[in-house]
């Protein structure tokens, strides 16, 4: 399943990147966090409560951030017992890089200073479960965009 989109924020690009890639902020921003632990330079494990379709209960997730290019982009890989492969990236753009409109079209709302473009690819390793995941694509997309919006609002306020 591929999920991609963008989130407009009122935070400056550099400030947003620093907030997004300061992993202690994930403890504050991720809802229903049960446990959070740094396990490497850019690697983290967290346990979160999940209630999305067939996935319920505490889920242990490991996130590894790679190819950090401040303040422009970062790649990530997610490991979880229910998902064989999950990877993606963030690309941050400020107003001067947007060409006068939001990615995909549309006017830039007043006050917007930067945009997070994101892409994720998820594969459970099981064709049936991949079909089930596709059914929750909208929920995954909206939940991820809500999380990124929280990061943007917190970065602006920081």
- At 32 the pLDDT is 86
The pLDDT tens digits of the residues spanning 5-55 come to: 999 999 999 999 999 988 889 888 988 888 999 999 899 999 988 877 667
Domain boundaries, the chain: 2-29+66-157
- At 53 the pLDDT is 67
Note the pTM of the prediction, 2 decimals.
Answer: 0.87
- At 67 the pLDDT is 95
Is the pLDDT reported for residue 74 higher than 90? Answer: yes
Confidence band, pLDDT 50/70/90 cuts, at residue 128: confident
The proportion of the chain whose per-residue pLDDT surpasses 70, expressed as a percent, equals 98
Would you identify the CATH topology of the domain 2-29+66-157? Answer: Alpha-D-Glucose-1,6-Bisphosphate; Chain A, domain 4 (3.30.530)
Distance CA(7)–CA(147), nearest Å, equals 10
The pLDDT tens digits of the residues spanning 100-119 come to: 899 988 899 999 999 999 99
Cβ-based burial of 62 (10 A; exposed 0-12, middle 13-18, buried ≥19): middle
Distance CA(71)–CA(127), nearest Å, equals 37
Cβ-based burial of 151 (10 A; exposed 0-12, middle 13-18, buried ≥19): buried
């Amino acid at each position: 399943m591929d999920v991609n989109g963008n989130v407009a924020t009122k935070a400056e690009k550099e400030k947003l990147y620093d907030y997004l890639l300061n992993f202690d902020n994930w403890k504050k921003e991720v809802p229903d966090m049960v446990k959070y632990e740094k396990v490497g330079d850019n690697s983290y494990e967290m346990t979160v409560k999940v209630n999305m379709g067939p996935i319920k209960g505490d889920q242990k997730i490991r996130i590894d951030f790679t190819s950090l290019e401040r303040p422009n982009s970062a790649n990530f890989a997610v490991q979880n017992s229910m998902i064989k492969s999950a990877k993606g990236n963030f690309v941050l753009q400020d107003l001067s890089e947007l060409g006068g409109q939001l990615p995909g079209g549309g006017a830039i709302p007043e006050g917007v200073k930067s945009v997070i473009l994101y892409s994720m690819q998820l594969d459970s390793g099981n064709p049936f479960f991949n079909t089930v995941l596709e059914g929750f694509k909208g929920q995954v997309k909206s939940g991820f965009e809500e999380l990124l919006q929280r990061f943007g609002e917190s970065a602006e306020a920081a």
